[in-house]
Structure 1
Amino acid sequence: MLSQAFPCLLAFIHLTCALPTSTKTTKRQNEDKPITELWTIPRLDMHIMSVHTGFPGDEWLPGTTFDSTIDFDILMPNHTSPTPSSTIIINCSTSFANGTLPSGPISCTSPSSTEVVLFELYTYTDLGPRRPEMSFWLDVTSAINYDEETRTADVFYWGQKAITANDPGEESSYLTCIEGRPFDGLRCQLKSYLSVDRELEVEVERIGGE
């Protein structure tokens, strides 16, 4: 099993600790060419409060405020299936305070009894300061035979993607966020008129395993 602490792996780009130097798995013959795969996110919906309410006075009245939400699907290989080409779709979702991002890894639906999938959001600042919900890193991680007590697994899969909104001139602008009726805030989705014209795909690297 990989002796890597799970939170450190999930925050791979934001590392505060090193990847493991030894495992109980067989070392690959060519470590210079990591094994990768593409996970597709065909749907990603967000609902967040807007600056303007769309109502006279432009103030959020008591009882009209709400938490931000994110809900998305991942189309990924079935790593525990005897059929290598088998794919599955899983769902990930959570809610969090307006103007923030959720803290820590969040569980998605489990592909199988031996595999867990989690995601985490980080503020993306490469294009300057922006509202967190509209400029973030999406990290996705899968673990095969994950042990919660020791935070180890036989194999990890990890990848991330920068996601921004409302500027198709940016490579990362996968989301279009538009205001709806008064007090409904902003609703964001993929493949709309302010989104880049391509699939949201995450390149995922396998860590550990043969």
Structure 2
Amino acid sequence: MTLTLYGHEFSSYTWKALIPLWANDTPFDFRSVEQHGEEFAALAPFGQFPLLVDDSEVVAESSLIIEYLDRRHPGPNRWIPDGDEGLRVRFLDRVFDQRIMDTAQVAVANALRPADHKDPYGVEQGMKRLRRNYDWLEGQLGEGGWAAGDSFTMADCAAAPALFYADWIEPIGPDRPRLAAYRARLLAHRAVSRAVEQARSFRHYFPLGAPDRD
């Protein structure tokens, strides 16, 4: 049976699951929740996407989907190495999801609030944390390569959508050249570029206004 991934083309965490599928040329069927909402809702334990279905197996959460693919549908790219290298990949995966993407999301969520429920102080504090997290990554990244070394791993699958959208909200800027260059390398990766292009027609959904770039 063909793998089925439910998600939305503009969703950062959907991108995170799409990138390893495309990078390993894994056969799968993508079903947008806009067209398959009821079908998705009947399967999703918490109503959140992405969701991977493999015959009778239903796998939720993007990091677990990638780990499942690594174990059950391996390809030329190994997403989570063994040993200490794998621990580093898992750690950076959490950093990009929780410290970059989820922190940037504070500003997006605020833009969606009713006018009398805005939280400018919360946004200000969130952007301070995001800038601090950018600085930490700037000190961790090398001059080239990927997040955890020479191999493209789960950490990079998480980094690509996180940095793509976070830079729209709080620009990385010229003072973090390694992080900016890493983001550019990610966007040049064929699977990441495919995710960007597939989502391009949905940019009007971005509540802060998508910049005229990328």
Task: Settle same-fold status: TM greater than 0.5.
Answer: no
- If each structure's strand is expressed as a fraction of its own residues, which one has the higher value? 1
- If each structure's helix is expressed as a fraction of its own residues, which one has the higher value? 2
The normalised TM-score by structure 2 is: 0.22
The normalised TM-score by structure 1 is: 0.23
Structure number, greater radius of gyration: 1
